[in-house]
Structures are given as structure tokens and as C-alpha cells.
């Protein structure tokens, strides 16, 4: 049984009463107080604004309790700051103005990006960047292509599974897919997608310590423990220190180029606003 703190009980009762008469309370200037620190008062109205609507009473009580605690601590620190700082130290008007300016500019830039900017990246741009910047795409992990299968020991037709795994025939892969959907505890087919070997290694019954040596000498791996049988087929691999294939870093390149294009768009927008302001004499140098 869940045990509430006294503060949570109080908050729950306040919230319950508040929810029952929500519309009436919203129309009142003074909502029911929850806690007071000096002259500052936290009310049920304040709590209602910060608590999610789609939570149960237990979660609501915990969230309310956490918010009340943080609110009290912040108000106590504020009182101490007001009492112990000099007037000069308490003058944060410039900082607030700079923060407001930065915040509004960022909101406006994001709005313009969403409304007027939909960058298109061609395969040629991605390939060009990859070819020019290959030194930045050195592999930091071993990667493989292939498939991984984990079966219960009592899974049927293991000889067929072995044949399908070793086969290069597409129909055999279809058969393996169908079989795995019914019997496999885990099945990953990544024949056309480079995958970090470490991700597969973590699922093996005995993780490989020397990954590079293992990859050099193993194309088909089968191992069993007291519950499962594991199959790993490696059709291709690349080791640490080599240049990553384009397909493996394509999304990373795409993100880099998109950020670059966004920055160029913002700079262009900034110049456009500046020139327009000069023409309209909004800017006047003295």
C-alpha cells in the first residue's frame, strides 16, 4: 500500500477539492493556499498550471510534493539573496534584457526555418563531402554485415536452419525469416546494413574478447548454452582504423550538411533584414 507524506496528503486533498470546483476556483482572485514563504504564496491554481492533467492521484501527489519542495527552496534562496546582495549585485536588468533578446531571436529564427526553409540534399552533395572529408570518418569500432539468430534449444529443424544460414539463395533467406518469426527469441538480418559488432557481441553466450581476430577467421559461428543456440553469419566486416563506408556515416553527413545549410540560411536572413533596415532608414548611424 502506498504511504503518502503529510504534505502529499494535504496537496491531494487540496487538489481533489480544487478539481471538484475547478471552474469556480478559476473565477476567484484568491485560490486556496498550499504553502507560504514570507509574503509569497503558492496556491492550488499555481499547482494546477504546472501539473499534467493525464496522471493518476498517486503520481499527481508525488509531482505536487516535488514541485512544492522546489518552490519553497527557491523562495528561501531568493529571500537570502535579496537580504545579502548589494543593490548593484541585484541589478540584473541588463542580463534579463540580453536573455530576452536572445530568446526572442532564437524563437523567430526557428519560426522562419519552419516556414520558409526546407533544405534538399542530393546524393552528389553527400558523396562530395564524404570524399573530401574521409579523414574525419575513421572507424572507431568494428562493423559487420550479416545476420544473427537466437533459438531455444528445443527449436525444430536445426539442420535446415544451418543450411539456410549458410546459403546465399534469396529463397532460403525468406524461409529463415519465416522460421524465425515463429521460433526465434532474437533475429536480426542486417545483410545490407553495417552494424557495430559490439552490439551483436553483447548478445553472444560468451562475448568475443579479440574482435578483430574473430572477424578475420569466422564467417559462420554457432554456439549453445544451457538454454539457447546462437547463430552468427558474417558476410562482410571492417575493422577499427579503416575509413567507414559511406552508407555507415551517411546520416551523420546529412546532419552536418543540414546544420551548415541552416546556418547559411540564418546568415542570409540576417543580411536581408539588415539591408532592408538600411533602405527603410530603420538603422541610423551617428
Question: How high is the pLDDT of residue 21?
Answer: 40
Question: How high is the pLDDT of residue 148?
Answer: 97
Q: What is the pLDDT tens value at each position of the chain, 286 positions in all?
A: 444 444 444 444 444 444 444 444 444 444 789 899 988 999 988 888 888 877 777 778 888 889 999 999 999 999 999 899 999 988 988 999 999 999 998 898 888 887 877 677 889 999 999 999 999 999 999 999 999 999 999 999 999 999 999 998 999 999 999 999 999 999 999 999 999 999 999 999 999 999 999 999 999 999 999 999 999 999 999 999 999 999 999 999 999 998 898 888 889 889 988 898 888 888 887 7
User: What is the CATH code for 102-138+243-286?
Assistant: 1.10.4030.10
pTM reported for the whole predicted model = 0.62
Question: How high is the pLDDT of residue 23?
Answer: 44
User: Residue 202: helix, strand or coil by DSSP?
Assistant: coil
DSSP 192: E
Question: How high is the pLDDT of residue 20?
Answer: 43
Q: Where are the domains of the chain?
A: 6-84, 102-138+243-286, 140-238
CA atoms of 247 and 244, how far apart (whole Å): 8
Alpha helix stretches (DSSP H) within the chain: 6-20, 22-26, 44-50, 57-84, 87-90, 93-116, 123-132, 158-166, 170-183, 197-201, 211-217, 246-279
Bridge partners (DSSP) listed for residue 229: 151, 224
Amino acid at each position: 500500500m502506498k504511504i503518502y507524506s503529510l504534505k502529499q496528503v494535504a496537496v491531494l486533498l487540496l487538489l481533489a477539492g480544487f478539481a471538484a470546483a475547478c471552474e469556480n476556483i478559476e473565477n476567484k482572485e484568491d485560490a486556496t493556499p498550499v504553502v507560504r514563504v514570507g509574503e509569497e504564496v503558492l496556491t492550488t491554481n499555481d499547482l494546477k498550471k504546472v501539473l499534467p492533467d493525464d496522471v493518476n492521484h498517486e503520481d499527481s501527489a508525488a509531482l505536487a510534493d516535488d514541485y512544492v519542495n522546489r518552490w519553497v527552496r527557491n523562495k528561501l534562496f531568493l529571500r537570502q539573496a535579496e537580504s545579502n546582495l548589494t543593490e548593484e549585485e541585484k541589478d540584473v536588468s541588463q542580463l534579463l534584457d540580453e536573455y530576452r533578446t536572445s530568446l526572442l531571436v532564437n524563437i523567430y529564427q526557428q519560426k522562419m526555418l519552419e516556414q520558409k526553409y526546407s533544405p534538399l540534399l542530393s546524393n552528389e552533395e553527400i558523396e562530395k563531402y564524404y570524399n573530401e572529408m574521409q579523414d574525419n570518418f575513421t572507424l572507431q569500432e568494428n562493423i559487420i554485415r550479416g545476420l544473427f539468430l537466437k533459438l531455444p534449444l528445443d527449436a525444430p529443424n536445426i539442420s535446415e536452419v544451418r543450411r539456410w544460414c549458410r546459403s546465399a539463395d534469396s529463397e532460403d533467406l525468406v524461409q529463415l525469416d519465416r522460421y524465425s518469426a515463429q521460433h526465434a527469441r532474437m533475429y536480426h538480418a542486417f545483410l545490407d546494413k553495417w552494424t557495430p559488432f559490439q552490439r551483436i557481441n553483447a548478445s553472444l553466450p560468451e562475448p568475443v574478447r579479440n574482435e578483430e581476430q574473430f572477424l578475420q577467421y569466422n564467417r559462420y559461428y554457432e554456439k549453445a548454452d544451457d538454454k539457447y543456440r546462437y547463430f552468427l553469419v558474417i558476410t562482410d566486416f571492417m575493422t577499427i582504423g579503416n575509413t567507414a563506408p559511406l552508407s555507415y556515416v551517411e546520416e551523420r553527413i546529412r546532419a552536418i550538411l543540414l546544420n551548415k545549410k541552416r546556418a547559411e540560411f540564418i546568415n542570409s536572413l540576417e543580411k536581408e533584414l539588415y539591408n532592408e533596415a538600411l533602405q527603410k532608414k530603420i538603422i541610423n548611424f551617428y
